[in-house]
Amino acid sequence: VGAPAVRRTRTRSVCCYCGVGCGVLIDAEHADGGPGPAGSRIVGIEGDPEHPANHGRLCTKGRNLPATARSTAGRLLFPEMRRLRSETRHRVDWGVALDTVAERLAAIVDRHGPDAVAFYVSGQLLTEDYYVFNKLAKGLIGTNNIDSNSRLCMSSAVAGYKLALGADGPPTCYEDLDHARTVLFAGSNMADAHPVLFRRLEAARERDPEVRWIVVDPRRTDTAAMADLHLAIQPGTDVALFNGMLHHLIWEGLIDRDYIAAHTAGFAELKLLLRDYTPRMAADICGIAAADLVRAAEWFGRSPAALSLYCMGLNQSVHGTDKNLALIHLHLATGQIGKPGAGPFSLTGQPNAMGGREVGGMATMLAAHREIGDAGDRAEVERFWRLPAHRLSADPGLPAVALFDALRSGKVKAVWIVCTNPVHSLPDIGRVREALQQAEYVIVQEAFRDTDTVPYADVLLPAASWGEKEGTVTNSERRISRVRQAVPPPGEARPDWWIGNEIARRIEARLAPPGAAPLFGFDGPAAIFDEHRRLTIGRDLDIGGLDYATLDAQGPQQWPFPSGSGRGLARRYGDGVFATGDGRARFHPTPYRPVAEPTSARYPLRLLTGRLRDQWHGMSRTGRVPGLFAHSPEPELRMHPDDAARRGLASRDLVRVASKRGELVLPLQLSDEVGSGTVFAAMHWSGQFLASGGINEVSQPAVDARSLQPELKHAAVRVEKAEFG
Ligand code: SF4
């Protein structure tokens, strides 16, 4: 008897980690003539040489993806339920799970109204998954209480783009990295967080040694260590820096007056404010030398092509919107936008934070960049979904932090958490735990069974993961790529869109008035994408000309891609016409304001948080690969040697890090990458690896008033030697 035949396949898809959106080729083996759940496995990966995001390159995380998919250990394989919190969950079949969830949610809506239900979803979801959940919440249940963990990473960038340029989405593309002559990194450790794009920038600088890099970061990150000029500003002072740079550009006549006059509005008001931001005054706020601020402004203002790359360091702040705006002002005032190598380019953290925004999968927006507060926009969506007039709620839903506060207070009774781990990633996780304990009903839809959120689930719904499902994602340069299934999901795990669609159909049967047009009957992701596509027609992100067949035939495409265009648009606003009502970009006065929580005698240190090169989010996936711990093997708190000496602390001491909200214990690492008065901890380590939760035990939940994004990057803390026993 011969060995069973093994069939090998190679599937073109996308890495599931970061917003670079690298194309991959997944190698799989299917035994017994597969594919079949028992006989299929992912055995290898290569960068896709034809994908325009990475041209075949992958970073360490991407190269190790097969190792995360090799075993079903730690995967959720079957639906599980419990009736009482005191019970252990037990396995149920899908029919029971789907019916029970639909019944419980419909009953809660009957009793308490639609806003008693909330959804908390993820930038890891595919666009099609996102679309189903957004339609389920807003169109079927009638609540805008659907927010995403993208609130924690990108919402300040969204607010900045909308206020300044009139619409969400970067004006730039990856090709701009090749053409930029001055690169301003602001709050982005791109060397570690977006490594493949960073290599592209390195190659551009090798080709042209005149290219200059300015890095704005309180920490000497791997990116900062390679800068021509590192501005190690005091945490939270970015607005003062950008205002001071623009003051200098105005003073030196390095602004583009013609561009300002022809294409913008509001410059006179901003100029008035900027009178006070002399380089010396701004540099004093930032804690840097005025000469360095001036040098950065000169390099920016005299550059033939200035590109800004920014990320969490700007966004995760109570003034994140102002930070984004002040940076965009530099581009608008110098005309450094809409041309090769120039523009403000926000880098998305998650693989599909952009796709989630496109379908409107957040509490503050509607599909295809429509506004909840706009009656015309609501009416358009109502007509498209064939809903009764005024069915869509005009009230914004609860954004991430407020959503869990509402669960805690009992205002929201049930939450459905999809593909995210809020007990690790939200600020002040003690409050999040309380919220989930208080909740009447918690549904967790997950691929992995050991996240910090899973223990709170009344129902666990097993989800398909990377390499196991079909759909699309949009990367940081607005490029839509097909995600494809290489192997079937293990056990009874199902694609996220399928789970949402099945439960929605059951809720619809209970809640929808007789004769109402059915909202949910999707037979696959292609049908969902087609509905999403049609809803974008005529909007700034119009993808009327895109379908799966086009993506399969022509490869990944950037939006907008209207019908008949034949190709997407690489760079926006090249004609100087912005997405505002009058076509003019807007300047907004951006006064510098300090961080939400100043240091004090009791909490004298500034805590910064950030990412490690080889880890991702709460490590539910990267934490399964021993090789990915080689770079940073253990959790640690990094402290300047002078601060440690003052406290009698040494490297490897266990220290207690405490804020007004909570505490955790970490090993100490002495490091001069942070200045005196500042400490740093990576955000990845969770309750899977620590006796407590991660660094969000101590982070604080104050949010930006416009973007509603919390200040995860900064908190005032105390550090002392941990005493035990
Ligand atoms: Fe994946 Fe991002 Fe690395 Fe590309 S850069 S391989 S998308 S983690």
Planar angle of CA 130, 466, 462, nearest 5 degrees: 70
Q: Does any domain span residue 595?
A: no
Q: Does any domain span residue 227?
A: yes
Q: Does any domain span residue 209?
A: yes
pLDDT in tens, 581-632: 999 999 999 999 999 999 999 999 999 999 999 999 988 889 888 899 988 9
Q: Is the CB of 58 under 6 A from ligand 1?
A: yes
579/573 Cα distance (integer angstroms)? 8
Task: Name the pLDDT band for 2 (thresholds 50, 70, 90).
Answer: low
Q: Does any domain span residue 540?
A: no
Structural domain that includes position 240: 169-346
CATH code where residue 261 lies: 3.40.228.10
Interface predicted TM-score (ipTM): 1.00
User: What mean pLDDT do residues 38-56 have?
Assistant: 94
My answer on whether 179 and 135 are in the same domain is no
Residue 482 pLDDT > 50: yes
Output the pLDDT for position 36.
46
Residue 181: which region, alpha, beta or left (left: phi > 0; alpha: psi -120 to 50)? alpha
110/114 Cα distance (integer angstroms)? 8
Four-residue CA torsion sign, 468, 469, 472, 473: negative
Output the pLDDT for position 394.
95
Output the pLDDT for position 72.
86
My answer on whether 149 and 281 are in the same domain is no
Atom of ligand 1 nearest to the CA of 59: 3
Q: Does any domain span residue 475?
A: yes
* Among candidate residues 513, 547, 571, the one where a domain is terminated: 513
My answer on whether 376 and 466 are in the same domain is yes
User: What mean pLDDT do residues 550-570 have?
Assistant: 95
User: What mean pLDDT do residues 670-698 have?
Assistant: 93
Q: Is the pTM of this model over 0.90?
A: yes
Task: Name the pLDDT band for 687 (thresholds 50, 70, 90).
Answer: confident
* E strands present in 164-231: 182-186, 212-216, 229-231
Output the pLDDT for position 533.
98
My answer on whether 403 and 339 are in the same domain is no
User: What mean pLDDT do residues 130-140 have?
Assistant: 97
Q: Is the CB of 76 under 6 A from ligand 1?
A: no
* E strands present in 108-234: 117-121, 146-148, 182-186, 212-216, 229-231
Query: Ligand 1 atom 4: the closest Cα is on which residue?
Result: 22
My answer on whether 325 and 429 are in the same domain is no
| Best of 16, 17, 309, 622 for a ligand 1 pocket test (most atoms within 8 Å of beta carbon) | 17
Q: Distance from the CA of 558 to the center of ligand 1, in angstroms?
A: 18
My answer on whether 141 and 189 are in the same domain is no
Q: Does any domain span residue 249?
A: yes
My answer on whether 272 and 328 are in the same domain is yes
My answer on whether 197 and 337 are in the same domain is yes
Q: Distance from the CA of 256 to the center of ligand 1, in angstroms?
A: 37
Residue 34 pLDDT > 60: no
* Among candidate residues 457, 485, 513, the one where a domain is terminated: 513
CA nearest neighbour of 51 among 9, 10, 26, 14: 14
My answer on whether 184 and 149 are in the same domain is no
Q: Is the CB of 20 under 6 A from ligand 1?
A: yes
Atom of ligand 1 nearest to the CA of 197: 5
Q: Is the CB of 193 under 6 A from ligand 1?
A: no
58/46 Cα distance (integer angstroms)? 8
| Best of 58, 619, 621, 631 for a ligand 1 pocket test (most atoms within 8 Å of beta carbon) | 58
Output the pLDDT for position 723.
84
Distance in angstroms between the alpha carbons of the first and the last residue of the chain:
63
Q: Distance from the CA of 402 to the center of ligand 1, in angstroms?
A: 31
Q: Distance from the CA of 546 to the center of ligand 1, in angstroms?
A: 25
Output the pLDDT for position 711.
98
* Among candidate residues 289, 312, 346, the one where a domain is terminated: 346
Q: Does any domain span residue 527?
A: no
| Best of 14, 20, 475 for a ligand 1 pocket test (most atoms within 8 Å of beta carbon) | 20
Output the pLDDT for position 513.
76
Q: Is the CB of 195 under 6 A from ligand 1?
A: yes
Query: Ligand 1 atom 3: the closest Cα is on which residue?
Result: 59
Using an 8 Å Cβ cutoff, are 467 and 96 in contact?
no
Mean pLDDT of all residues belonging to the chain: 95
pLDDT in tens, 622-656: 988 889 998 898 999 999 999 999 999 999 999 99
Residue 260 pLDDT > 70: yes
Q: Does any domain span residue 397?
A: yes
As for how many domains the chain has, the answer is 3
My answer on whether 341 and 195 are in the same domain is yes
Using an 8 Å Cβ cutoff, are 140 and 520 in contact?
yes
Q: Is the CB of 62 under 6 A from ligand 1?
A: yes
Q: Is the CB of 15 under 6 A from ligand 1?
A: yes
Q: Distance from the CA of 62 to the center of ligand 1, in angstroms?
A: 5
490/346 Cα distance (integer angstroms)? 36
DSSP result, 236-280: T-HHHHHHHHHHHHHHTT-S-HHHHHHHEE-HHHHHHHHTT--HH
Q: Distance from the CA of 129 to the center of ligand 1, in angstroms?
A: 21
Task: Name the pLDDT band for 5 (thresholds 50, 70, 90).
Answer: confident
AA letter at 361: G
Atom of ligand 1 nearest to the CA of 195: 5
Using an 8 Å Cβ cutoff, are 488 and 18 in contact?
no
Q: Distance from the CA of 57 to the center of ligand 1, in angstroms?
A: 9
Q: Distance from the CA of 195 to the center of ligand 1, in angstroms?
A: 7
37/30 Cα distance (integer angstroms)? 9
CA nearest neighbour of 458 among 157, 84, 159, 181: 84
Atom of ligand 1 nearest to the CA of 14: 7
CATH code where residue 711 lies: 2.40.40.20
- Which residue do the tokens 């783009």 mark? 161
Rg (Cα) of the chain, in Å, rounded?
A: 25
Task: Name the pLDDT band for 335 (thresholds 50, 70, 90).
Answer: very high
DSSP state of 89: P
CATH code where residue 438 lies: 3.40.50.740
Query: Ligand 1 atom 2: the closest Cα is on which residue?
Result: 18
Residue 688 pLDDT > 90: no
pLDDT in tens, 86-128: 999 999 999 999 999 999 999 999 999 999 999 999 999 999 9
My answer on whether 336 and 424 are in the same domain is no
Q: Distance from the CA of 622 to the center of ligand 1, in angstroms?
A: 12
Residue 448 pLDDT > 80: yes
Q: Is the CB of 18 under 6 A from ligand 1?
A: yes
| Best of 45, 51, 61, 198 for a ligand 1 pocket test (most atoms within 8 Å of beta carbon) | 61
Output the pLDDT for position 35.
44
My answer on whether 227 and 322 are in the same domain is yes
Q: Is the CB of 19 under 6 A from ligand 1?
A: no
Output the pLDDT for position 321.
98
User: What mean pLDDT do residues 494-500 have?
Assistant: 98
Residue 82 pLDDT > 50: yes
DSSP state of 448: B
User: What mean pLDDT do residues 178-201 have?
Assistant: 97
Residue 512 pLDDT > 90: no
Q: Is the CB of 486 under 6 A from ligand 1?
A: no
